[in-house]
Chains A and B, each alone.
Chain A
Amino acid sequence: MKLDPALRDQVLSTVPSLRAFAVSLCGNIDRADDLVQETLLRAFTHIDSFEPGTNMAAWLFTILRNLFRSEYRKRRREVEDADGRYAESLKSQPEQMGRVEFEEFRAALAKLPSDQREALILVGASGFSYEDAANICGCAVGTIKSRVNRARTRLAELLSINGADDFGPDRATRAVLAGGCN
């Protein structure tokens, strides 16, 4: 099988985000890599069904999302039991957040129903429009908006984000700032 170089470049440039989506969805790096590999194999097998000029990223995300959903149905409990030590396996420090904050956020995200989690990640992190996310998930735009809203609300509950007091610098930084003012 030969892949057009332009398509190859599109696939290659999408893989990092595709993999981040997979890790965010299933919370397990090995399973995420299996999912990405399976997605790429499917994509290459069905590359003729991809319409040049359309959104390659959305096409690949759709394949991965559907694979995850079919696997999720089979291994639902395992997905929910993802352990809380992903940060330890990171090659580098989490970006713009401490490891504890990173783990707390990751654990909270894992507690969301998978339809809310995928909607929130697609719109809030992968950078898809509500319309693209709706196409990827095979549902109405309004449904995606509702899922994103529920996901944010639930995360706010889980992370105890209630009001303006929780914003700005983290607790440690605020303590240092407060100390500096005295």
Chain B
Amino acid sequence: MADGVSDEGERRIMNNRRVKLELVKTDGDKANEKDSPSNPMTYEKPAPRLGREAQAQIGQQLRAMYQTYVHEGVPTHLSDLVERFAGQDREETKPPEDRKDSKPSE
């Protein structure tokens, strides 16, 4: 019981603190909040929970889109980039010291 009272008291203190913090906010802070890309949805009312089937449908479409991109393959210049850094485009038997002149060129 005593804990409950102290919790209640603490909550009241926290609420007061929050009010004070609100008052301290400057116009500059408010402008920054507006500019934040995450802001518009962060402060809207909680989203209603979607049904399982709606979630499943969205999940299926999202994965289908993503897999379409995955299966597009990787452009040669990107796989070449990895290979270049791996040193696989040079003779593999040579130790790295012998390949000082093979610095990747942009």
Contact = CB atoms under 8 A, between A and B. Distances in A.
B63 interface: yes
A12 B65 contact: no
Contact of B82 (A12, A20, A150, A161): A12
Contacts of A90: 68, 72
Nearest to A97: B64
Chain B's interface size range is 35 or more
A50 B65 CA distance: 30
B86 A2 contact: yes
A54 B55 CA distance: 31
A76 B79 contact: no
A95 B71 contact: yes
Interface string B79-90: 101110111100
Interface in B58-106: 58-75, 77-79, 81-83, 85-88, 96, 99, 104
B62 A8 contact: no
A72 B58 CA distance: 25
Given A114-B38, A154-B47, A161 B78 contact: no
B21 interface: no
Given A16-B70, A33-B75, A37-B78, A153 B50 contact: yes
Contacts of A102: 64-65, 68
A16 B50 CA distance: 31
A16 B68 contact: no
Given A37-B78, A95-B68, A115-B37, A8 B58 contact: no
Contact of B78 (A3, A15, A159, A167): A15
Interface of B: 37-38, 40-41, 47-51, 53-75, 77-79, 81-83, 85-88, 96, 99, 104
Given A3-B87, A19-B74, A156-B50, 6 more contacts: A8-B82, A20-B70, A44-B85, A97-B61, A161-B54, A167-B56
